[in-house]
Amino acid sequence: MSEATRVLPGQAGTQGAAAARPARWAVFSNEDWWSVWIGLLVIVVAWALFANGSSLKWLAVAPAKWKTLAEAGQGIAAHWPNYLALFAAFALLFGTGLAVLGHSLARFLPAFLTLFVVSLLIFTASAWVEASRYNLEAPLLALALGLLVSNTVRLPEWFQSGLRVEFYIKVGIVLLGATLPLTLLVWAGPVAVGQATIVSLATFFTIFLVGKALGLDRRFAAVLGVGGAVCGVSAAIASGGAVRARREDTSVAITLVVVWAIVMIFVLPFASRALGLSTAVAGAWIGTSEFADAAGVAAAQAYGDAARHAGGAIAGAPDAAVQAFTLMKVVGRDIWIGIWAFTLAWVAITRWNTGDDAVRAKADVREIWTRFPKFVFGFVLASALVTWIASHYSLVDYRKIVTPDLVAPISTLRTWAFTFCFLSIGLTTRLRSLSATGWRPLFAFTAGVVVNVIIGYVLSVHVFASYWNGLGG
Amino acid sequence: MKGTGVAAPTLGTVAASCAGCRHRLDDQRNVEQRMPGLTSFGSAYGASIAASRLCLLHDSWVSPADGCAQFSAKG
């Protein structure tokens, strides 16, 4: 009897309990589910207040436009109870989820307080009437400040507990669902899936085949390929886990995703403006060619903010950039991660197994569901709920009553969640700590980036532009 | 089709699989610390990682049902 087949006395009970726990607590077992509950709770509370003639506006406070520093200071001072309540609400919601997931509240709360205060300062800076002239949109400002600080100052360990990029972006995306009519989602969803499928397959096979041609291990090439084709770091982790990749290979894939995602946050909005793209078309392009949800939202929101202050120089509604991005990235690309993972696991185990692999594994079809990004449910449910509420009002009443008292406060809370995320991206991206990649993975991944950007541009701007502009462009 | 490939060896109802192995790093916080850049755009607490964890012995990802000859029960 080998080591692997020994009977393990007393272990059956432990393993049985471990197996039962996920089934019962699955809907509280990861950040995806918690982002659904938090986002929907916020929307239901906003709706309850709205239905009773009140509004969440008091809590959903944001800095007003200002011309002088004195005005900015007065704005914060006049609303300090609102900001305090807002901090308490966010801390309660995020803190509850993170505590259940095993994080230390004693570390999270002071870290989140710091993050909240800096986010307020960034939000205030971006409300300066001259901010757009100097490209001080909140996403880019938060990102640049975070990068500067994390790469020049050693941040204390406890502060890392508050930097939950994925959690904040997922909550923000669920809240975003409340501002996107379900009819638009149904109308543009198939286009997003079609465009994403073309681009994802082209990107994956470019990276995989170039990587293989350069002599990379097939598992490594596959992890790189899915990281570039689907949803960045999450995809690299999912595919790395699926093909039982080496830790070092996944680290390299993560490094390449992070570096290219940061580059694209600045390049894609700049290129979109130079090419005169509408907000919706730019959002679709960013959704096709960015490598991570958080990075793409940063780029799309920066472009939307630029459009808001461009005096008509950029066509389309400002919100259409983030809406098109989310449809393209979340609906078009992210939801397929489980299928990618299962398919690659099956191929790796049945075709790439050399027979001398140290770890014996099997592909499990249940991975398709397990790795599915559950926050997408929250996004769709939020859209359906607000669409249903809006169906009880005429268009005039919707704009006069529902938008300012129900939708606008939810949008403000979404912007806060996104700002926490953008600042956290910068503060967690320490370039020196990233793995050295070597030229072959870099070349393979970069080939995929080039293919992705070109095909994404052609499909967004020339093939499906009319669909994307239908979002408000 | 539920599973394909070579399953971890079993005896009775108990599998000597990675789920019960001390080499499997079952702490998500530790996974994030060992993967530079993971928290910049991802998370070890999201759905995409599922039950994949790092094996400290092979320095690679493993799933709970995987197994190997170096299995060593958790203490």
Region B39-58: mean pLDDT is 93
CB contact under 8 A, A247 and B54: yes
Look up the pTM and report it.
0.90
User: Of A418, A414, A375, whose CA–CA distance to A46 is shortest?
Assistant: A414
pLDDT of residue A357: 64
Q: Do A434 and B49 touch (CB under 8 A)?
A: no
In this predicted structure, what is the pLDDT of residue A359?
80
Residue A138 confidence (pLDDT): 85
Interface contact flag, A233 B41, Cβ < 8 Å? yes
Q: Do A238 and B13 touch (CB under 8 A)?
A: no
Q: CA of B17, closest CA in chain A: separation in Å?
A: 7
Strands across the sheet containing B24-25: B24-25, B53-55, B60-62
- C-alpha A272/C-alpha A313 separation (Å) is 12
Kindly report the average pLDDT of chain B as a whole number: 82
Q: Which residues of chain A have a CB within 8 Å of the CB of B20?
A: 8, 11, 14-15
Residue contact A232–B42, C-beta within 8 A: yes
Whether the CB-CB separation of A364 and B2 falls below 8 Å is answered with: yes
Coil vs helix vs strand at B12:
coil
Residue of chain A nearest B19, judged by CA positions: A15
Q: Which residues of A199-228 are buried (b: 16+ CB within 10 A; e: fewer)?
A: bbebbbebbbebbbeeebebbbbbbbbbbb
Show the tokens assigned to A370.
């397990």
pLDDT at A439: 92
Please report the pLDDT score of residue A20 as a whole number.
44
pLDDT band at B21 (very low <50, low <70, confident <90, very high): very high
pLDDT band at B18 (very low <50, low <70, confident <90, very high): very high
The minimum CA-CA distance between A372 and chain B, rounded to whole Å, is 6
In this predicted structure, what is the pLDDT of residue A106?
95
Burial of A311 (0-12, 13-18, 19+ CB in 10 A): exposed
B1 pLDDT band, cuts 50/70/90, is: very low
What does the CA dihedral A297, A301, A302, A305 come to, rounded to 10 degrees? Answer: 180
CA distance A5 to chain B (A): 6
Q: What distance in Å separates residue B31's CA from the closest CA in chain A? A: 10
Closest CA in chain B for residue A164: B39
Query: Looking at this predicted complex, what is its ipTM?
Result: 0.88
Q: Does domain B15-38+49-75 have CATH number 2.20.70?
A: yes
At residue A312, the pLDDT reads 83
Measured between CA atoms, the residue of chain B closest to residue A298 is B41
Give contacts of A 275-334 with B, CB under 8 A. 291-295
Of A232, A246, A367, the CB nearest to B60: A246
Domain ranges of chain B: 15-38+49-75
Which H/E stretch holds residue A256? helix A247-274
Q: Which residues of chain A have pLDDT under 50?
A: 1-20, 473
Domain ranges of chain A: 29-469
All residues of chain A having their beta carbon less than 8 Å from the beta carbon of residue B35 are 237, 247, 250-251, 254
pLDDT of residue A14: 38
Which of A34, A164, A174, A233 to substitute to test the interface with B, most B CBs within 10 Å?
A233
pLDDT of residue B2: 45
